[in-house]
Amino acid sequence: MTNWQPVLAQLRSEFPDLELMPPAPVTTIDSAAAALGGIPDDLGELYRATNGLSLGWFAIFSVYVESRPKQTWNSISRANQPEHVPGAAGEWPGLLSDFLIFASFAGPGFAAFDRKHWRI
């Protein structure tokens, strides 16, 4: 498993505009992971260090936290609902069963883990 604290510290020093969210509660991470059919261990560890991050045109989705709805609305759970995947889910019906979307790029772009091997 990755120790995210030094990685995040290095990223912050290299990219001063990097926005880091406060860590997500472990119970919230576990609930989101269960609802999504699992998440990679490293992503779960990242959420324990920061509940999402963003830099300009790139963002890693947070897990939804009920006490912080405005900050966590664009969550990994929401990103993996067919109605929130612009065009792609209609063009590739198995997309969300094969992949877990975890990050967004400017516009309709996204990054995803292959659910079978947990590789990007």
Q: For residue range 11-40, list pLDDT tens digits in order.
A: 999 999 999 999 999 999 999 999 999 999
Q: What CA dihedral angle connects 90, 91, 97 and 99, to 10 degrees?
A: -120
Domains annotated on the chain, with CATH: 4-114 (3.40.1580)
**Cβ-based neighbour number of residue 19 at 10 Å:** 13
pTM reported for the whole predicted model: 0.90
Express each pLDDT in 26-83 by its tens digit: 999 999 999 999 999 999 999 999 999 999 999 999 999 999 999 999 899 999 988 8
Phi-psi region of 39 (alpha: psi -120 to 50; beta: other; left: phi over 0): beta
- 3 state SS of 45: helix
